[in-house]
A and B are shown apart, each in its own frame.
Chain A
Amino acid sequence: MNDHKQHNDPALTIAVNQPSALSALEQQRLNALLQHCVQPAAISIDALMTVQQTRGWISDQTLAAIALFIGVSEADLDSVATFYNLIFRLPVAKIVLHPCNGMACQLLGSDEVEAQISHCLDISPGQSDRDNNFTLVPLPCLGACDKAPVMIADKTLFELINIEQVPQILAALSERQILAKDSEGRSNHE
């Protein structure tokens, strides 16, 4: 995993197999979860999702740090981390594209939509593009079958997609990413 050039996990610059330090904010969030749980292991999934929010994905070092912090074994936590679709154990780009590959979307041409995304970004499912803007992770039925084909990206549901619109959608998502970054920069500056 360490040979990935594109990542946004500071843990990878620390010695291998050392738990990466959790930031003060991450620790604060995990403590808040621990306060309301019946037993520490119960927050396993929420803890992984919470830390993933700040780091984008869960590296081995991140996993080790969370396990240590909440007091469960790394093996137990990894068994949970690898079970769920939305916990990423490999680096992902800034925006994860989730085109629906369910039956209803396929009936209305989702294969072509997915192929068009792959073509536009020159990636296969599971890969990130060269600029590290997009990772393609098709998901099963997104529960909007009457608007098929659909895709979720950046917490937004795109409906009734046809292949001609794929470049526009990708451009709009990139634009949004830049805007979000700008406003973040501004507020940090202020």
Chain B
Amino acid sequence: MNKPSHVEPSTTPMTRFVDQQQDSHSLKNYQHHGGYLGLKNALSLSAQEVLQQVKDSGLRGRGGAGFPTGLKWSFMPQGEDTPTPKYLIVNADEMEPGAFKDRYLLEKTPHQIIEGLLIAAKAVNADIGYIFIRGDYYLAIERLNQALQECQENNLVGTNILGQNFDFQIHLHTSAGRYICGEETALINSLEGKRATPRAKPPFPQVSGLWGKPTIVNNVETYCNLPHILLFGVDWYRSLGRCKDVGTKLFGVSGRVNNPGLWELPMGTPIGEIIYDHAQGMQDGYQLKGFLPGGGSTDFLLPEHLDTPMDYDEIGKIRSRMGTGTITVLDDKFCPVKMVLNLVAFFAQESCGWCTPCRDGLPWAVSLLEKIERGEGTESDIEQLIDITRFAAPGNTFCALAPGAVEPLQSALKFFLHDFTEHIERKCCPYQHQASAKPPAQAKQAGDDHG
């Protein structure tokens, strides 16, 4: 393998060059740390060989669903008589409540994303790439534009990339803002200039996606894994996990912990280790009441689940989802009804309005939760909320938005039912006068020390 001696395999491949480098986003620094060497390796292999490496690596999609990446790619039709152009899309429309990992990668490592995109393009013979980025991510947009410019100047995009007879165009699309754009078929509609309503599947985008052409959509973090798999090899990558799932993952914690933040850790790191070792536990005077393991559309878990490894299947066994891997901690001084209300109100607002359980069910849940939070709820409101979680269950809706929205609701009704009934019995929110916001140290503008 042709690489400088200082580029060694690391236990934190995606972020190893970030912490010590203020300008880790520049091409110069990225290349100094081995950037684009994975691409060079990929370009020396056949498409089939690159695809096989990604399959063998065991990489699973980091957007939340955890679908095996290589398998997803293998559904794209290949061969002379298949439609062209073939599209690859980077889903950088991070808007899941509580998720803040893609912003970090976009701002700190734009070249890592582009390299991953180019490697994926080689594997599936794609012609055109789109990076679909959230419109509010101004710094990330600026840095991606810079990075793409650097790629233009250094023959890393366009035609005959690195003289290897490989062509690939990349466009940056700035979203006008809507959570549903994160759903891959809604994202495709949005790229076509339409309202971002999801499409019926099948046909799946791999067969008929953007403009009816074969299209693959992957999350930012998924792409970021690829350069390292191609540079350091499948065996090394598989050795990184602490469980059945392989590789590393950005895990984060927010809420009333001592050290909120983001860390690249092996897959399978136990939840308790993330909350207590890395986030340094709860702030003084606050107890851990529960947590969402991976964003606003995952089921609540309890302190008794802290030993569970962050692993798609293990979290699934305790009836939640690893989702984005960014944990949100609920403390004992914040009203669980209010937290769920915030989430369901968000999903109700962001519903595209296409199907009834979502368009009508979620606002109905919001009005019931508001009533309970105001102290005007009744026992039958709780029964209605439970009904709504069933109406909006998977299989009853067009896409995953409403089923995701009711995940925190259904688990809150299970784990924090006492809090709901207390609101009803006491005719007020029992938490209202408890929350005394401890002001954070100081406000500042986001700078390079973010994360």
Contact = CB atoms under 8 A, between A and B. Distances in A.
B118 to A, nearest CB: 20
A147 to B, nearest CB: 7
A42 B136 contact: no
B323 to A, nearest CB: 13
Interface in B56-94: 94
Contacts of B176: 45, 48-49, 84-87
A103 B103 contact: no
B87 to A, nearest CB: 11
Q: Which bracket fits the contact residues of B?
A: 35 or more
B339 interface: yes
Provide the main secondary structure of the chain A interface: mixed
Given A83-B178, A84-B176, A144 B103 contact: yes
B196 A143 contact: no
A158 B443 contact: yes
B440 A44 contact: no
Interface string A96-119: 001001111011110010000000
Interface in B169-187: 173-179
Given A83-B195, A98-B136, A104 B97 contact: yes
A107 B331 contact: yes
Interface in B83-113: 94-100, 102-103
Interface stretch (B150-158, B250-258, B409-417): B250-258
B443 A145 contact: no
A187 interface: no
A103 B346 contact: yes
A159 B326 contact: no
Interface residues of A, number: 49
Interface string B345-378: 0100110100000000000000000000000000
A38 interface: yes
B152 to A, nearest CB: 15
Interface in A38-88: 38, 41-46, 48-49, 79-80, 83-87
A140 B437 contact: no
Contact of A157 (B173, B254, B445): B445
A160 B440 contact: yes
B444 interface: yes
Contact of A84 (B95, B96, B177, B444): B177
A148 B94 CA distance: 16
B125 interface: no
B451 A42 contact: no
Contacts of A46: 173-174, 193
A136 to B, nearest CB: 15
A146 B100 CA distance: 8
A148 B443 CA distance: 10
Given A108-B256, A143-B95, 8 more contacts: A45-B175, A107-B328, A139-B177, A140-B349, A145-B99, A148-B254, A156-B138, A160-B442
Interface of B: 94-100, 102-103, 134-139, 173-179, 190-196, 211, 252-256, 260-262, 296, 326, 328-331, 334, 338-339, 342-343, 346, 349-350, 352, 437, 439-446, 450-451
15 contacts: A38-B192, A38-B211, A45-B176, A45-B190, A83-B178, A104-B98, A104-B254, A108-B256, A112-B437, A141-B98, A146-B254, A146-B451, A159-B445, A160-B442, A162-B437
Q: 9 shortest A-B CB distances, which residue pairs?
A: A84-B176, A109-B437, A145-B254, A85-B177, A162-B439, A44-B193, A157-B446, A146-B260, A160-B440
